[in-house]
Each structure stands twice: as structure tokens, then as C-alpha cells.
Amino acid sequence: MPFTGGPIPLNLRGLLNKLLLLIGILIIIYAILWILAILHIIPVIIYSLFPQVVLLGIGIFIVYMAYKRKDKYY
């Protein structure tokens, strides 16, 4: 059933809220790491590896959600 612009279904709204919460937390962590790297409190390598770790986490999340919902589409 195509989405025609009506109210957002509750399961989609919950997933969207979780995704936005995750993005917000990641932005806060990245900002804290940036400040700590600028102040030379942590090595810059930790700050520079963080985006790759985040991308890996997002990829795992997408694969998990696709695997979890695979039975809905068959």
C-alpha cells in the first residue's frame, strides 16, 4: 500500500524517532571528541577513526533492520 501523505504510521514514527535519537547522540559524541582532540586531551587518531566506526554501526543497523523485517515482504 503506497504512502499517500496521510498520518505517519506508528511503527514508522517509532523507527524514525529512534533513528533521530541515534543521530543526535552521534553528533554529540563527535562534538565532544572534536573538542577533546583540539585540546590535545585525546590522540587525534581516536577522533579521526570515529566516523568510520559510526558508518560501520549504521551499516550494521540497516542490515539488522532488513533481516528483522524480511518476513513482512514475502
Q: What does the domain layout of the chain look like in residue ranges?
A: 11-73
Name the pTM for this structure.
0.60
Span 31-71, pLDDT tens digits: 888 888 889 888 888 878 888 888 888 888 888 887 887 77
Q: Between 16 and 52, whose confidence is greater?
A: 52
Query: What pLDDT was estimated at residue 4?
Result: 62
Which of 50, 46, 62, 49 is CA-nearest to residue 25? 50
What is the rounded distance in angstroms from the CA atom of residue 19 to the CA atom of residue 24?
9
Query: What pLDDT was estimated at residue 5?
Result: 61
